[in-house]
Amino acid sequence: VLVSGFILMKMMGDSQFMKLYQESLNRLSSETVEYVRGIQVVKLFGNRLQSFQAMKDAIESYAKYAYEYSLSCKTPYVLYQLVFLGLIPILAIPLSFVLTKETNPEKLLIELIMIFFLDGVISVSFMKIMWSSMYVFNANYAIEQLEALYDKMQEDSLPYGEEEQFPNYRISFQNVGFSYGEKKVLEHLSFSLEEGKSYALVGHSGSGKSTVAKLLSGFYKVDSGSITIGGKPIESYSKTALCHAIAFVFQDCKLFHKSIYENVLLGKPEASKDEVLHALELAGCKEILSRFPEGEHTLIGAKGVYLSGGEKQRIAIARAILKDAPIVILDEASASIDADQEYALQNAFKNLIQGKTVIMIAHRLSSIQGLHEILVLEHGTVIERGGSTELLSEDSTYKKLWELYQSTEDWRIHA
């Protein structure tokens, strides 16, 4: 038994090697998924060889570790089979005779049959133990990865307090600094937003617009400085209070594999059916519901149910309208949409932001003309602030962005 146990331990491999093996398997899985997801783009642009290289490298890496593991198992497995299928049966007859001193042939035969039977049972049991140990190792590896992810999330997450009530909804960033790893995104960022007014954040890609919204929502904690709502740091409020105070409409709206009604109801789980339908109407979703026989009970993701990006965002806006949070953060869709969709979205935005403190992360400058103020970000700090007319009358960065935007619109028209 001890010899067999030692052989099985050798077959399982050392923990460091098995960790490398598991990492190569994970990489193969992720690269395969990435390649399959992007296969349409690969075909369209004829970039098959370059795009396949990462997947090919992952396959070769996994094949290398799988081959080495198979080789490491070869000798121990052969020895294991010899011990249980060869050595034990050979030794069983003389050992049985010597140890039991049994001379009756019938009893001796029964003993031998029992030995052979137990030999097979023990052999199979040891193999099951080995495979179970492999599963345990894989489970432990997965747990380690999850714990590392959880620790990272805990490290980055905002520490919440116990305050439940907001004195008001005036927002202030005071000398805020933030980094993604080694990359500095915001530095000495300071500005204030008055309650009940609407603001647009504009700037070049990477200027920190989306980061500002995520920090205000409590997705991350700041490296330096402070963010306050109603004169109190956001970390002084409870998680529930902060969640109820802010509605976030993402650029890439996440809709779950549920009905349209259930997706909207997430904004306010205790809402009545009339409230949900009213929110859908304010978000301009009646036309969407009319396309499907089951209306608001249409299952998103079901066969034949296709929603465009603009339609998904309108459903997300309905969810935010139902939530009725005093602070609204809009990450405007950057993709081009047709005139009908843009008109419907703008109407939905207007119904959502009435009487709210609004921050819009703007990608299309045509959509922000009716807002109270525009904040221009560059290199993680506010460099300009004012109304659209005011900023266009100056030699400002905003004016240059506007001219670039207009030139791209002209190019689309003439193209």
Confidence band for 279, pLDDT divided at 50, 70 and 90: very high
Residue whose pair of structure tokens reads 């109820």 in the numeric block:
244
For residue 108, count other CB atoms closer than 10 A to its CB. Answer: 15
Domains of the chain: 2-156 (1.20.1560.10), 171-414 (3.40.50.300)
> Residue 415's pLDDT is what?
47
- The answer to whether residues 264 and 318 touch, using CB atoms and an 8 Å cutoff, is yes
- The answer to whether residues 355 and 347 touch, using CB atoms and an 8 Å cutoff, is no
Window from 25-29, 94-98, 146-150 with minimum mean pLDDT: 94-98
- Which range has the top average pLDDT, 67-71, 83-87, 275-279? 275-279
> Residue 409's pLDDT is what?
60
Residue type, position 110, single letter: I
**Position with higher pLDDT, 26 vs 263:** 263
What pTM was estimated for this model as a whole? 0.67
> Residue 197's pLDDT is what?
92
Confidence band for 62, pLDDT divided at 50, 70 and 90: confident
> Residue 195's pLDDT is what?
93
DSSP 163: B
User: For the chain, how long is the longest CA-to-CA vector?
Assistant: 115
**H/E run at residue 49:** helix 48-81
Per-residue pLDDT for 47 more than 50? yes
DSSP, collapsed to helix, strand or coil, labels residue 327 as: strand
210: Cβ contacts below 8 Å, ≥ 6 apart: 331, 361
**Position with higher pLDDT, 1 vs 239:** 239
